[in-house]
Amino acid sequence: MAPIAPDDARAAIEAAVTGFSVLGGAMAYTSGYYAAQALAQQRSPELLAQRVNEGIGQGFNWGCLPALLAFIIVAWS
């Protein structure tokens, strides 16, 4: 079994950080978008919080695939 070179570990960490950054960006975008919609409609704070939480969930759902693709691209380059 070959030892893991420091460059390999660094590349794996960079790929993971890139993937999680894409996922976090998708979640932040959708939660902010849903919050802006609720604020524009002058909704109650409880509904605003619910919309933000829904946006986080939606961002996770559609951000998983781009995050995985970003991980693969960075890992293979």
In a domain, 22, yes or no: yes
| Confidence band, pLDDT 50/70/90 cuts, at residue 9 | confident
Into how many domains does the chain fold?
Answer: 1
In a domain, 2, yes or no: no
| Confidence band, pLDDT 50/70/90 cuts, at residue 4 | low
Q: For tokens 């951000």, what's the residue?
A: 63
In a domain, 3, yes or no: no
Percent of the chain clearing pLDDT 90 (strictly above): 79
Spatial contact of 66 and 26, defined as CB atoms under 8 Å apart: yes
**Residues spanned by the domain of 72:** 11-76
In a domain, 6, yes or no: no
**Predicted confidence (pLDDT) per residue in 51-66, tens digit:** 999 999 999 999 999 9
Residue type, 37: Q
In a domain, 63, yes or no: yes
Local structure of 35: helix, strand or coil: helix
Higher pLDDT, 55 or 3: 55
In a domain, 1, yes or no: no
CA distance 25 to 37: 18
**pTM for the complete prediction?**
0.83
